[in-house]
Structure 1
Amino acid sequence: MMISKVVGSVVATQKDEKLADLKLLVLEVHDQNGKGAGSYVVAVDSVGAGLGDMVLYATGSSARQTTLTDGRPCDAVTMAIVDSWDLGGDNVYEKWKDA
């Protein structure tokens, strides 16, 4: 899993029928220190994430192992909304501080 921030959403009116009821998010990939890495990914939202949320996401075959994405053509999925994380004993992120 990787850390990212929800920075947008994707609306696609014409898409494969297996994607019809899925919410698509634009994620900015972040490094372990919480800094944006300058790369982006579109992911299926399986946890109800919203704009500005820090999330964990998975890609590849792991992305198709949730109840929501099983058997669907997706390559990235949000797996968790991050409340906080630390690195080497130092607090990197706390959701309540960014609210």
Structure 2
Amino acid sequence: MQIAKVCGTVVSTQKEPSLTGVKFLLVQLLDEEGQPLPKYEVAADTVGAGIDEWVLVSRGSAARQVAGSESRPLDALIVGIIDTVSVENRRLYSKRDQG
């Protein structure tokens, strides 16, 4: 899994039928200091994440291990919304402190 920040939404009216009803978000991957990496990715969202939230992203074949996603052509899936991230007794992120 990787930590990412939700930066936007992706709307696709024409897509593979198994992806009908799936919400897509644009996420920016974060490094170990919580700083944005130059890489963005589109991830399917099954947990109701929103803009500016930090999320856990499962990538590759692990993204298809969630019930209902086994036969979907997914490379990235948001599997959790992060409440806090701490490293060496230092808080990097707290959802409570946002907005």
TM-score (norm 2): 0.96
Residue identity matched to 2:45: D
How far is the alpha carbon of 1:35 from its aligned partner? 0.7
CA distance in 1, matches of 2:9, 2:62: 21
SS of equivalent to 1:63 = helix
Do the aligned partners of 1:63 and 1:76 also contact (CA within 8 Å) in 2? yes
Separation in 1 of the partners of 2:66 and 2:6?
Answer: 19
Question: Could you tell me how far apart the structure 2 residues matched to 1:68 and 1:51 are?
Answer: 24
Match of 2:12 in 1: 12
5+ residue gaps, structure 2: none
Name 1:49's counterpart in structure 2: 49
Aligned equivalent of 1:96: 96
Unaligned runs of 5+ in 1: none
Residue 48 of structure 1 aligns to which amino acid in structure 2?
Answer: G
The percentage of aligned residue pairs carrying the same residue is 38
**Equivalent pairs, count:** 99
Q: Give how far 1:33 is off.
A: 1.1
CA displacement at 1:69 relative to structure 2: 1.6
Q: Report how far residue 28 of structure 1 moved.
A: 0.5
Shift in Å, 1:17:
0.2
Matches within 5 A, 1:4-83: 4-83=4-83
Q: Which runs of 4+ in 1 moved over 2 A?
A: none
TM-score (normalised: structure 1): 0.96
